[in-house]
Structure 1
C-alpha cells in the first residue's frame, strides 16, 4: 500500500542512513512514552504502516511492516521487522529490506516459507523464505538465514507484471489442491480489481485471471477457510485493505463468487491512517489457525507513528445471512493476564451497578461481560472506561436494548436473550468484540496521555441482569514496562 500517488525518490546515502541497512541506529526507548501501546506492537521509532510478509518459521513469528525509519510520516518505504515466539511478545529486529540495498519500491507484499525447496534456492540448513514486493511489477527477495536478511532474486528483475498502469501489494499462498503457488495482486486495469498468477517454483509466474470489483482497493488477501457448517470443505475469502470481503470458490486459477456486495471484517471501516487497515494473514501457521494483524494509523508519539492491531483469530461462521468472518483475540492473550476478578450472576439496580466496579482500578485490561437482556428492565447499559473522581470517562461503550446496537453498530441479542461483550484496553488502543466474534471493532483511543483516571464503571437506566463479569489485569509486552505499576497493581495514568 502507498498513501500517495506521487513517486518518491530514493535518498542518497548519508552518515545518518549509512550503507548497512541491518545496523540502523534506532534511538533508545523503554516503550513507555505517553500513548504508546503496551500490548499492541509499535516500531521502536519512525513511521509504521501495513503489516507485510507475515510468516511463521521454526517456532518464530515474523512480522514485517511498511516502515520509514527516518521520520514520523510516510516516506521511502523499508520493510521493518519484529519477531515473536508467541504472537504476543515482540522484539524489534534490524531492517529486513532497504531501498539502499534492494531494488524497486518496497511497498506492501507477501511472504512464504518454501519448505519443499520448489524454488531451488536452498543453500544450507534453512528453508528459503521468499517475499514479494514492488509497484508496477512484482519483485522477489529471498532469505537463507531464517528471515533476517534478504537477497534480490535475479538482480531484482520483475517476475510478475499485472495489467493496468498501477499495481502493488502482491500476496502469495500455497494452493494445496493443485500443488502450486498463487499470487494475488491489486491493479487498476479498467478499475479496481486483482490479477491472479500461478507458479510451480516461485520464480516463473503465469497470469491466469482477473477479478474486478469497485470496492476491491489495495492490499488483497485470499485465504482458504473451512465453513463452520461444512467441515472438511474449503471456501475462499477475498478481502481488501479496508476489510471488505466476499466469500467464494477458487480452483487454483480463477476466483468466483455469487456475492453482489461485500461485508466488512470490522464494524468501523476507513482508509489509510484510520483505526483498521491493510490486515494480512500469517502464512505457514503450525496449527492451521487463520491469524491476521492490521495497521492502526491513529496512534503516535514523539518518536513513532502507527501501531499493529492486536492479533485476531478468524473463522468462517454459518449464519442466517450467509457465511461471515468472525474475529476473536488469539488464545495467547492469557499470557498477559496477571490477576483476575470475577463477579457471578446477580440482578443489579442502577446504584448497585455503579458500585460493582468501584474498587477496581484498571488501565491495561481485558473485560468480559454477559448481560441477560430479557430479564433486565434497563433499556441501556454502558461500560465507562478510565473514569476519574469528577465522573468523567475517556470512553463509554454503550449497548441499546431497544435497537440492539453496541457502540452504535448492530449486535442483536443471542437466541437465549444474552449479550456478550469483550474489551481489550491498552494505552492507545481499544478492541471491542461481541457475540464470540460476530462483532469486531479495532480503535485507536488515547488512554495514555492527558488527564484521566484509572477507574471502571458499569451504568444502566433500570435493573440489569448480570450473568457474569470478569476483569483481567494485563501486563506489558515490553521488558521495562512490567515494573511500572501503581499501588493498585495496575498501570499509572501518564
Structure 2
C-alpha cells in the first residue's frame, strides 16, 4: 500500500509538471545553461553519482509552484554534465516519517550497492511534537523507479541531538563498510556525525567526525567527506555562520577511531548564492562539486525569493566544479572541462592596456550568457583597482572589484537589477605573485566570478533583463596591463 501511495503521489506531481513546463520554459529569467528543473522550486543537489554510464542529478524539489514546500526528489541524467534529460520523480512524500506539507523527502545521497542504486534521504514529519528528522533508505533495480525500505527509518536522532536538527546523510564506501556522515546540532553547535553499515539497513555510530566550537554556526547542513590527494576534506554549510555559506576543512582522518583532525579551512565560495554543495567521483577520478545557487541566510523562506517565482519556477544549480588540492593545503574549485562544449563566437583580445579612468567595452557573446577569461600582469599594472562591470545597461550593473591596494575582491549587486542587494567580499592574497587570473561565467540570471588560480569564487544571482548586455573593464588609479583575454558566447542547452 505504501508503494502504491508513493506511485500515486509521483503521478500527481508529474501531471502538474506536464501541465506547467511549457509555459514555464518561456520565462524571461530562465537560465540558458545552468541546470534547472522543468517547473517549480528546487534547492539542494542530492544523490549525485555516475551510475551505469550516466551522470545522475537528484534534487530537492517542489513541483507544484516556485516556493519551498512539500519536498520531493527530482531526477535527471546526462552523458556530459551539460545536456540533461529529465526522468520521472524518484521520491515523493508517502509515509508517516516523510509525509508532511512543511517536510517531505529532504536531502541525501546515492550509492551503488549489491547491484542496486540506493538513495539515503532524510524524512521529515510532524506528529504534533515538533519536526522529526530521520534517515531512510530507498532502492532501485533500474536507477529510475525507487522503492522505500519497509523498515524505515534506519536511523533516528540520538540523545542530545534535537530531532529537527539531524539530516542530510552523505554515504561512501571504504573497505568492507558503507559510511555515512550526517549533519547535526548538539548543545547549540554544529556537528558531523559518522555511522557505518555492511548492509545499508543497520547502522552503527562510529564517532563525532568533527564539531564546531562556536565559530562554525549552530547546525551543519549537507556535510560531505572525501579524500583528496593525501588529505581528507569535510564540506558543510553552517547555519548561523554569517557570511560563510559553504566551507571546507582539510586534515587527516583515522578510520579506526572515526575522528577527523582538521588543520586547514576555507570558503568554497564567497558569494551569496552558493549552498549545500555535494561531491561525487567522475569515472576519470575527478572530484566534482555541484551546489544550489542560493542560500537560506540571505533569503529566508518567509521573504521574497526573487522574481522568478512569478514565472512558475525558482532555483538552479551552480556550474559543476572540480576540487583540487593545492601544495599549500588549500583547495581549488575549477569549472569542469565539459563546459567548453558550450562555447561559440570566440573572440581573442590578446594583450591590451586599460588606462586610468578608462572603461573599455568587452564583447562576449550576446553580453548575457558568456564566458570571459583574462590574465593581468601585476608587475606592470599600476592601477589601485581593476573593475569588471558586468551585465550593464539602463543605469544598472553588477560590479566586480579587485582592489590591489587593500588585497580584496568584492562583487556588488546593489545596483544590479532593481531587486538584488548586497556586496560580497574576500581576501585577494597577491604577495609574491606576478599575475592575476580572472574567469567569469554569466548566464541569464547569474554571475560566477573566479580568481587567483580558482582559489576564490563569488557566485551571485542577478535578475537583469536582456537589455543589460554591455560589459566593461575599468582601471582606477593607474593602468591595467592585460596579458591575455578571450571571450565566448555560451549556447542555450536548458
Please state which band the TM-score falls in when normalised by the shorter chain: 0.7 to 0.9
Q: Does 1:80 align with 2:74?
A: yes
Matched with 2:254 is 251
d(CA) in 1 for partners of 2:154 and 2:364? Answer: 61
Match in the other structure for 2:389: 384
Identify which of 138, 145, 149 aligns with 1:149: 145
User: Relative to total residues, which structure has the larger strand share, 1 or 2?
Assistant: 2
Is residue 2:463 matched to residue 1:446?
Answer: yes
1: distance between equivalents of 2:148 and 2:474? Answer: 58
Residue from 445, 459, 473 that aligns with 1:458 = 473
Tell whether the 8 Å contact from 1:137 to 1:162 is kept in structure 2 after alignment: yes
* Unmatched segments (≥5 aa) in structure 2: 99-103, 124-132, 239-244, 295-304, 411-424
Instruction: Sort the Cα spacing of 1:186 and 1:387 in 2 relative to 1 into closer, same or farther, 3 A.
Output: closer
The answer to which of 186-195 and 58-67 deviates more is: 186-195
Give the aligned partner of residue 483 of structure 1: none
Which of these residues, 4, 10, 29, is aligned with residue 35 of structure 1?
29
**Residues 357-376 of structure 1 aligned to structure 2 (within 5 Å):** 357=362, 361-376=366-381
Matched residue, 1:266: 269
Instruction: Please tell me whether the aligned partners of residues 364 and 372 of structure 2 are also in contact (alpha carbons under 8 angstroms).
Output: no
Q: For 1:36-71, what per-residue CA distance to the aligned partner results, in whole angstroms no more than 9, with x for missing partners? A: 211111111111111111111122111111111122
Residues 258 and 330 (structure 1), Cα distance of their counterparts in 2 relative to 1, 3 Å cut? closer
| Partner residue in 2 for 1:306 | 315
Q: Does residue 138 of structure 2 align to residue 160 of structure 1?
A: no
Q: 1:100–1:20: structure 2 CA closer, same or farther, 3 Å change rule?
A: farther
- TM-score, structure 1 normalization: 0.81
RMSD over equivalenced CA pairs, Å: 2.8
Q: How does 1:295-334 map to 2 (within 5 A)?
A: 295-297=292-294, 300-301=308-309, 302-319=311-328, 323-334=329-340
Q: Is the 8 A contact 1:385 1:393 kept in 2?
A: no
Secondary structure class of the residue paired with 2:186: coil
Asked if 2 retains the 8 angstrom alpha-carbon contact of 1:371 and 1:418, the reply is yes
State the distance in 2 between where 1:453 and 1:238 align.
Answer: 36
Q: CA deviation at 1:234?
A: 4.0
Deviations 1:206-259 (A, max 9, x none): 111113324252111112111xxxxxx342334335312211222235122243
Q: Deviation at 1:424?
A: 0.1
Q: CA deviation at 1:398?
A: 1.8
Structure 1: distance between partners of 2:286 and 2:139: 25
* Cα distance in 2, alignment partners of residues 358 and 107 from structure 1: 42
SS at 2:105's partner residue?
coil
CA contact (8 A) 1:236 1:250 kept: no
Aligned residues: 432
SS of 1:74's equivalent in the other structure is coil
- Confirm or deny: 8 A CA contact 2:233 2:248 kept in the other structure: no
Shift of 1:144: 0.5
- Residues 38 and 414 from structure 1, CA distance in 2 versus in 1: closer, same or farther, beyond 3 angstroms? farther
Aligned match of 1:180: 177
Q: Provide the residue aligned with 1:418 in structure 2.
A: 435
Residues 142 and 447 of structure 1, relative CA distance in 2, 3 Å threshold: same
Q: Which moved more, 1:18-27 or 1:132-141?
A: 18-27
1:421/1:432 contact within 8 Å kept = yes
> What are the superposed Cα offsets for residues 429-452 of structure 1, whole Å, 9 maximum, x if unpaired?
111100221111111111336xx3
Q: Secondary structure at the match of 1:224?
A: strand
CA distance in 2: counterparts of 1:112 and 1:42, whole angstroms: 23
d(CA) in 2 for partners of 1:360, 1:239 = 35
The CA deviation at 1:467 is 0.4
Q: 5 Å matches for 1:183-222?
A: 183-191=180-188, 192-210=190-208, 211-213=210-212, 214=214, 215=216, 217-222=220-225
Question: How many Å separate the matches in 1 of 2:186 and 2:178?
Answer: 23
Distance 1:173 1:347, change over 3 A: same
Partners of 1:429 and 1:446 within 8 A in 2 = yes
Alignment of 1:277-292 (within 5 A): 277-282=275-280, 284-292=281-289
Q: What are structure 1's unaligned runs of at least 5 residues? A: 1-12, 118-126, 227-232, 269-273, 479-494
Q: Aligned-pair distance for 1:132?
A: 0.8
Runs of 4+ off more than 6 Å: none
Q: Distance in 2 between matches of 1:382 and 1:318?
A: 30
Give the CA deviation at 1:140: 0.6
- 2:460 & 2:37 partners in 1: Cα distance? 18
Offset at residue 103 of structure 1 (A) = 5.4
Q: Distance in 2 between matches of 1:354 and 1:18?
A: 53
Query: What is the rounded CA distance, in whole Å, between the counterparts of 1:187 and 1:429 in structure 2?
Result: 31
Residue number among 401, 406, 431 corresponding to 2:404 in the alignment: 401
- For the 8 Å contact 2:109–2:170, the answer to whether it is kept is yes
